Amino acid sequence: MSALTHTEPRGTRAWLLSDHPTSRRQARLGQSYRTWLALRGNWLAMVGLAIVLALVLVAIFAPWLAPYNPILGQDLNTARLLPPLSPGHLLGTDDLARDILSRLIYGTRLTLMVVALVAVIATPIGLLVGTTAGYFGGWVDTVLMRFTDVVLAFPRLILALAFVAALGPGIENAIIAIAITSWPPYARLARAETLTIRDSDFIAATRLQGASSVRIIWKHVVPLCMSSVIVRVTLDMAGIILTAAGLGFLGLGAQPPQPEWGAMIAGGRRFLIDQWWVATMPGIAIFIVSLGFNLLGDGLRDVLDPKGRK
Amino acid sequence: MTASTHLRGRRGALWLGKFARLLLTVAVTFFGLLLVTFLIGRIVPVDPVLAVVGDRAPKSVYDRVYLELGLDKPLWEQFWMYLQKVFTGDFGTSFLSKRPIVDDIARVFPATLELATVGIIIGTLVGVPAGIWAAVRQGKWPDQLVRVLGLVGYSAPIFWLGLVGLLVFYAKLHWVAGPGRIDIAFEYSFTPKTGLVLWDTAMQGQWAAFANAFSHIILPGSLLGYFSMAYISRMTRSFMLAELAQEYVTTARDKGVPEWRIVWVHALRNAAVPLVTVIALSYAGLLEGSVLTETVFAWPGLGQYLTNSLQNADMNAVLGGTLVIGSIFVGLNLLSDLLYNVLDPRVRRRA
Amino acid sequence: MSLLSVENLRVTYPTRQGPSEVVRGVSFNLGRERLGIVGESGSGKSQTGRAILGLTPAPGLATADRLEFDGIDLRQADARQWRSLRGRRMSMVMQDPKFSLNPVMPVGKQLMETLRTHGAPRSEAKNRALEMLEAVQIRDPERVFRAYPHELSGGMGQRAMIAMMLVSAPDLLIADEPTSALDVTIQIEVLRILDKLVSERGMGLIFISHDLRLVSSFCDRVLVMYAGQVVEELQASDLHNARHPYTQGLLNCLPKIDGDQRPLPTLNRDEAWTK
């Protein structure tokens, strides 16, 4: 058909930006590409993305990047509490003569682990509760949403504190506690999305074909809610990092000698006045990483929220 | 005449119905709070009997306390007992201080309240104008500035900022007083009545003590204020942008109303309706932020009490404190709902 | 001398594809008469009204070779001068009172604001506001004065809006679809009030509407706009002599009581009209 070929420009870019996608995959990829183009124009978001990518890379290559062992210290007589820019110790050493830079580098692994695990645990819970409540409505909705509101009514850190107190300190329990306190907003969001999808014709059609509720929720409702929930989770990443650091600071998260940034700040507190760097450096690391997630999330929200676009 | 009174009567009924629904929601949420704290208390690996009698008590004492605590009864019955206790104001005894939890909390709460109040005042006084400024200069440098300041507030760990603040303003510059609420020298120069040091000293005319207390509270207060400012300014900005795009703003311009009046009277009055909720919620959020801030500043408030109890596995105290903070959250939510109704004439009259 | 003269008015908005002109060289003169501007949505008629009041919404930009109101060059006016003109000497009634009145301010306060802004003392402002509410045939002015906008019906709201815009006796009133959001029965009433006040006070009126028949029965003169340009200017009584195909098309589309119109006539647009 010559009528079709003359309007179709060549190239990947043109294929992605085509106004007439020929497949679902093309449409979806094109949408992502447009989002990416809009995001690329926001330099703050790009800074955020760079920070997040750097975090991932540092975590992967930590053993090669770190000049020293993060757990075992150097000579306690000569290498204790060295100031930043000392020979061989760019950011100085702590009271156990451990290289702070190396500990920060290994700490990226803990931070990433917390963020990833919380997302992996909390997102499915939120999706499950929200879509179920939204799809079935009625008393199921009332009960589930009341329960969600109860969990929301607790201040997040306090509830996490209470859970960790009950489960015992440690990074695994901190992750579980944070996950338990993070899902309610996702559930609310998923419910709201489900309500708009539930009554659409294609769901009715699927139901008429005899699909079970479980199948409809899993195959049709969940995928449609997914994208907005994922954006919301990205926006929450910085909060998760800060909560984990707060628990670490209170001695309820990662336990020594793990190089967790919040616990490192708590460890450096004793030397605050004379050896300020011990407590300050990990704080800067937390700040940069959570700023990165915030900048990226902020940019994503601007791009993806059509109401806020102007 | 009769028609209008009839109408007013119906409005009253709608109001009542709405209020009842609101109260029911609060009751259910509160019940949930109790259930959650109760369940957390039951999954603790700490043996509640040992916590009471100590681990060297003879078997007979242990068994007696075991029965007294009702631990042989089914879970729902234990919950029922817990409910009865909570409603009579009995949260149990603190393992650490050997005093009723309620007394402990009553003693430490004013410190937290004072700190959070200073924080929310600073946050509102700075955050609302900053948000308005950003909205009016949308896309210009003030907007960017407010946005970046807000993002920094969202991103910095509060306990770390507190430490850095202490290092810079207390240890190096000597601008403010250090940890604690007041210097020991002033501690007995006034009679604590409300437990709010600023209030007590001011009422009793102890201005030197007041100045000292102020110098203690200003750093943690500004810190909490900064965090609430980040949230308040962002929300103010988006509410104001939404209002400034409304048609009544154009009408006001058509009338020749000056721009400052359009922003501060017309738009802000409309934006104030949702803003009240935002401020109430950040006030509640400051109570949460206080857990970390109080630890850093050795502030003898609820947050520090909670962390101390946590570190000593004093479960009764932890749950009591959690319950109190949770109830304040619920209470402030209810309050903001009610204020919403008062502020918005559309909801006020229509119910 | 005419009250308002507009020459080559242009309003442009920057877009990603470059500047887009929504008003493209509109010129007309207005005395103390009733001028109608008709056109479909997007024809630039509302933008023309906004531009005359200097209220082109950002990031739009209005330019003109001449924009004079009662001898004042509006192109040179600063913010202060604009404020002293708006509300006092020229004002605008908008489409829907639901959105154009401030929802959290009592109607009376909004009326008084017009006068207070231009320096009237409080008690005088209140009296004049109440008088004005009476003039727009509101039976219980005291009640409406105290009421919030959502407590008024659409027709009442629009009367309050008209009162608010006429209370300081301006010389020029721009009415942008003032009755489109109202029920048909109330439309006529509101129009009658507007008509009476305009002719009593001898002010200039620009009546913007998409309703050709309404405009022609209500105005002395009609401008027909299409795609940002004036395609035809007519005396209202001469409507049947319209020469431009767009106007003729509009006229043909009006339903007639006598005579069967099948198939229903449609408007045929011609690219050449926009040139």
Does B contact A via 3+ CB–CB distances below 8 Å?
yes
A201 and A73 in one domain? yes
The answer on pLDDT for A299 being more than 60 is yes
In C, minimum Cα distance to B261 occurs at C117
Q: Which of A139, A149, A150, A290 to mutate to test the interface with B (most CBs of B within 10 A)?
A: A150
Measured CA to CA in angstroms, residue A295 lies from A117, A123, A185, A186, B148 at distances of 21, 21, 20, 20, 9
The answer on pLDDT for A307 being more than 50 is no
Q: Using one digit for the tens of pLDDT, what is the confidence trace for B203-261?
A: 888 888 899 999 999 999 999 999 999 999 999 999 999 999 888 998 998 888 888 99
A147 and A32 in one domain? no
Predicted pLDDT at A128: 92
A35 and A174 in one domain? no
Q: Which of A221-230, B39-48, B270-279, C125-134 has the lowest mean pLDDT?
A: B39-48
Distance from CA of B121 to the nearest CA of C (A): 25
Predicted pLDDT at C76: 86
- CATH number for the domain harbouring residue A237: 1.10.3720.10
Mean per-residue pLDDT for C94-98? 84
The answer on pLDDT for B131 being more than 50 is yes
Task: List CB contacts (< 8 A) between B157 and chain A.
Answer: 242, 245-246, 249, 262, 265, 283, 286-287, 290
Per-chain mean pLDDT for chain B: 83
Residue B255 has its nearest CB partner, among C96, C114, C148, at C114
Residue B43 has its nearest CB partner, among A146, A154, A166, at A166
In B, minimum Cα distance to C80 occurs at B258
Mean per-residue pLDDT for A279-285? 92
Residue B254 has its nearest CB partner, among C91, C118, C150, at C91
Mean per-residue pLDDT for B13-20? 72
Measured CA to CA in angstroms, residue C73 lies from A275, B123, C52, C70, C85 at distances of 70, 46, 11, 8, 12
Predicted pLDDT at C61: 87
Interface residue B311 vs chain A (CB under 8 A)? yes
Is the CB of residue B192 less than 8 Å from the CB of residue B200?
yes
Predicted pLDDT at A10: 63
Residue B171 has its nearest CB partner, among A157, A238, A273, at A273
A161 and A65 in one domain? yes
H-type alpha helices, B137-157: 141-155
Tell me the C-alpha distance between C140 and B4, whole Å.
14
Predicted pLDDT at B49: 72
Predicted pLDDT at A202: 86
Residue A265 has its nearest CB partner, among B163, B284, B329, at B163
Residue B247 has its nearest CB partner, among C83, C91, C94, at C94
* Residue B96: partners with Cβ closer than 8 Å, 6 or more residues away: B308, B309, B312, B314, B317
- What DSSP letter does each residue of C16-58 carry, written as one string? TTEEEEEEEEEEEEE-SSEEEEE--TTSSHHHHHHHHTT-PPT
Tell me the C-alpha distance between B174 and A272, whole Å.
15
Q: Using one digit for the tens of pLDDT, what is the confidence trace for B54-95?
A: 667 778 887 887 777 777 778 888 888 888 888 887 887 887
Does A contact C via 3+ CB–CB distances below 8 Å?
no
Mean per-residue pLDDT for B279-307? 86
CB neighbourhood size of A61 (10 A): 12
Q: Which of A249, A271, A276 to mutate to test the interface with B (most CBs of B within 10 A)?
A: A249
Across the interface, whether the CB atoms of B246 and C99 are under 8 A apart is answered yes
Three-class secondary structure of residue C224 per DSSP: strand
* pLDDT band at A5; cut points 50, 70, 90: very low
Predicted pLDDT at C44: 85
A63 and A35 in one domain? no
All CATH 3.40.50.300 domain ranges of chain C, comma separated, are 4-89+171-274
Fold of C4-89+171-274: Rossmann fold (3.40.50)
Domain boundaries, position A101: 43-309
A83 and A60 in one domain? yes
Q: Supply the pTM of this predicted model.
A: 0.82
Most confident of A103-107, C175-179, C191-195: A103-107
Mean per-residue pLDDT for C268-272? 71
The answer on pLDDT for B105 being more than 50 is yes
In B, minimum Cα distance to A237 occurs at B155
Distance from CA of B205 to the nearest CA of A (A): 35
Q: Using one digit for the tens of pLDDT, what is the confidence trace for A225-260?
A: 887 888 888 888 999 999 999 989 988 888 888 899
Task: List CB contacts (< 8 A) between B1 and chain C.
Answer: none
* pLDDT band at A149; cut points 50, 70, 90: confident
Per-chain mean pLDDT for chain C: 84
Mean per-residue pLDDT for C218-233? 86
Across the interface, whether the CB atoms of B250 and C94 are under 8 A apart is answered yes
ipTM of the complex: 0.84
Residue A153 has its nearest CB partner, among B29, B158, B160, at B29
The answer on pLDDT for C1 being more than 80 is no
A55 and A31 in one domain? no
Across the interface, whether the CB atoms of C114 and B346 are under 8 A apart is answered no
A225 and A102 in one domain? yes
| Residue where the block lists tokens 């890379």 | A57
Predicted pLDDT at B46: 65
Predicted pLDDT at A56: 94
Query: A with B: how many residue pairs have Cβ under 8 Å apart?
Result: 146
Tell me the C-alpha distance between A195 and B254, whole Å.
41
Q: Using one digit for the tens of pLDDT, what is the confidence trace for A48-85?
A: 999 999 999 999 998 998 888 888 877 777 778 888 88
Predicted pLDDT at C275: 63
A76 and A17 in one domain? no
A156 and A17 in one domain? no
* pLDDT band at C186; cut points 50, 70, 90: confident
Mean per-residue pLDDT for C39-51? 86
A130 and A13 in one domain? no
The answer on pLDDT for A9 being more than 60 is no
Predicted pLDDT at A187: 93
The answer on pLDDT for C123 being more than 70 is yes
Total domain count, chain A: 2
* pLDDT band at B1; cut points 50, 70, 90: very low
Q: How far apart are the first and last CA of chain A?
A: 41
Predicted pLDDT at A227: 78
A237 and A147 in one domain? yes
The answer on pLDDT for A123 being more than 90 is yes
- What DSSP letter does each residue of C135-189 carry, written as one string? HTT-S-HHHHHHS-GGGS-HHHHHHHHHHHHHTT--SEEEEESTTTTS-HHHHHH
Does B contact C via 3+ CB–CB distances below 8 Å?
yes
The answer on pLDDT for C25 being more than 90 is no
Predicted pLDDT at A305: 62
Q: Using one digit for the tens of pLDDT, what is the confidence trace for B168-219?
A: 999 889 898 888 888 888 888 888 888 888 888 888 888 888 999 999 999 9
Predicted pLDDT at B228: 92
Q: Which of C99, C104, C105 to mutate to test the interface with B (most CBs of B within 10 A)?
A: C104
* pLDDT band at A6; cut points 50, 70, 90: very low
Classify residue B137 as exposed, middle or buried by CB count within 10 Å of its CB (0-12, 13-18, 19+): middle
> Which carries the bigger pLDDT value, residue A80 or residue B347?
A80
Across the interface, whether the CB atoms of A157 and B288 are under 8 A apart is answered yes
* Residue C42: partners with Cβ closer than 8 Å, 6 or more residues away: C22, C227
> Which carries the bigger pLDDT value, residue A88 or residue B255?
B255
Predicted pLDDT at A240: 92
Across the interface, whether the CB atoms of C94 and B255 are under 8 A apart is answered no
Predicted pLDDT at C261: 65
